Amino acid sequence: MADSDPEPTPEFPHLNPSDPTLSAWREPIPNLQGDRPPGLIHLNRYPIGMAPHGIATFLQRPVAMTAADLSAANVDVAMLGAGMDMSSGMRGAGYGPRALRAHDTYLPTVQSGLTHQHTRVDALSELVICDYGDAPVDPDSTYRSVEPVRALVREIAETGTMPFIVGGDHSLMYPDVAALADIYGKGKIGVVHFDAHYDAGSAYLGHAISHGTPVRRLIEQGHVSGKNFVQVGLRGYAPGDDDLAWMRDQGFRYHFMAEVERYGWERVMTRALEEAADGTDYLFVSLDIDVLDPAYAPGTGTPEPNGLTPRELFPLLRRLGAEHNLVGIELVELNPLVDPTYVTPLVANRAAREMLTGIAMRRTGISEPDYLHPWALDHGQ
């Protein structure tokens, strides 16, 4: 065993600058800008079709490829795939964006949406939502992959469009939130982080950027303050005492599943909503699908038993969109390769739509907290 870490040497360089494929994975197609007028690109031939038909895009939305497209079409939400999974537990989250695109099992129309039953709001009609394609990924390097993700998220947000990143492993939280801090300012954004895991380790096998460390990097670099970090759903065997003490020193608002067991979900949800609004103007939601119990979301790289149910998670996702000023969303750790059923993409799709419904509720002027349409509750009387 070596006495020290191997450093790159002239005899054994980690990267070969003379290799013409060194950065080929992130070279854009030159004619992407083309001569076409900027705007949304509708990939499907017909305005109405059923879920299994047509070319799969996020929520069957049209595509945009450049910032000029987003501006020309006044896009509200741009969904960006980022299929990097080099540091996930069981690899396969790289297929998460494709799984989400392919598993709209019941969305019947391309041009319009569906009214959310409990709120009578149709997010896909209220909001202009597009598929912004995928970020480039160097499948051998998390470090090299996060930089183009940060640039693309910044590119989206600079047009006034909200980025919605679909991963991919949770390393993405670092470039996603850092990009928004580049625009809104350091310390200006709060994060509500749904996860079975704390993701605030100082390093993982010596790596500063991995799916176990993004929270630590964001706080160390001043992008987010610890007191504006709200964590929901933590369980299992981490963090250790040292890291938990660090989190407490930083002022984290963490909610272990122990709190749900002792006091019930309603109280935890109310606290998380209050904390999300405490001291910042902007909010980012980071949804690790493993916050759900593996019974509902087995398709993830590091499953942990005894998680949240969709009945607990969905109202909180909707309320964060409706009652707070969201500036970005990520949905990560969706790994269809370890789920032989379609249940995880199904529940992930619905989670995405709950957040978008909340954003649409806010857009339509619904300001009542915990709003549900009266017809949803009066059993027809």
- Pick the closer one to Mn ion by CB: 344 or 357: 344
Residue 376 has which token pair? Answer: 């949803």
In angstroms, the CA 85 to CA 89 distance is 9
Closest separation in Å from C-beta 194 to Mn ion: 9
Half-sphere exposure (CA, 13 Å, Cβ side) for 371? 23
Q: How far is the CB of 333 from Mn ion (least distance, A)?
A: 6
Please select the residue that binds Mn ion; options are 195, 304, 330, 339, rule is CB under 5 A: 195
From 117-125, 163-171, 231-239, 257-265, span contacting Mn ion (CB under 5 A): 163-171
The closest alpha carbon to 162, from 96, 76, 84, 102, belongs to: 76
Which stretch in 29-37, 168-176, 260-268, 304-312 sits in contact with Mn ion by CB under 5 A? 168-176
89 vs 148, which CB is nearer to Mn ion?
89
Q: Copy the structure tokens of residue 60.
A: 């069957």
Cα angle, residue 94 at apex, residues 88 and 98 outer, rounded to 5°: 145
- By beta-carbon proximity to Mn ion, the closer residue of 85 and 288 is 288
Interacting residue with Mn ion among 170, 217, 235, 318 (CB under 5 A):
170
Residues 6 or more apart whose Cβ sits within 8 Å of residue 362: 321, 322, 323
Site residue total, Mn ion (CB under 5 A) = 4
Q: What is the C-alpha separation between 328 and 339, in angstroms, rounded? A: 27
Q: Does 61 bind Mn ion (CB under 5 A)?
A: no
| Residue whose token pair is 């949770």 | 170
Tell me how far apart the 2 most distant CA atoms of the chain are, in Å. 80
Q: Which is nearer to Mn ion, 121 or 308 (CB)?
A: 308
Min dist. Cβ of residue 183 to Mn ion (A): 24
Give the span between the Cα atoms of 102 and 377, in whole angstroms. 33
**Closer to Mn ion at the Cβ: 118 or 207?**
207
Contact status: 293 vs Mn ion (CB under 5 A): no
Q: How far is the CB of 270 from Mn ion (least distance, A)?
A: 24
Examine residue 288 and tell whether it contacts Mn ion (CB under 5 A). Answer: yes
For residue 177, what is the DSSP state?
H
Site string for Mn ion, 143-162 (x = CB under 5 A): --------------------
User: Closest CB to Mn ion among 25 and 296?
Assistant: 296
Distance CA 60, CA 129 (A): 10
> Could you give the CA distance from residue 320 to residue 304 in angstroms, rounded to a whole number?
24
Q: Which is nearer to Mn ion, 290 or 312 (CB)?
A: 290
At closest approach, how far in Å is the CB of 163 from Mn ion? 18
Backbone φ and ψ of 270, nearest 5°:
-60, -45
How near is the Cβ of 233 to Mn ion at its closest, in Å?
10
Part of the chain binding Mn ion (CB under 5 A), chosen from 15-23, 71-79, 197-205, 305-313: 197-205
Q: In what helix (H) or strand (E) does residue 329 lie, and over which residues does it extend?
A: strand 326-332
Q: Does 199 bind Mn ion (CB under 5 A)?
A: yes
Q: Which residue has the tokens 């990009």?
A: 179
CB of 3 to Mn ion, least distance (A): 34
For 103, the token pair is: 């598993």
Q: Return d(Cα 231, Cα 199) in angstroms, integer.
A: 10
Nearer to Mn ion, 234 or 327 (CB): 234
d(CA 17, CA 145): 17
Give the nearest distance from C-beta 303 to Mn ion in angstroms.
Answer: 12
Tell me how far, at minimum, the Cβ of 199 lies from Mn ion, in Å.
Answer: 5
- Which stretches of the chain bind Mn ion, using CB under 5 A? 170, 195, 199, 288
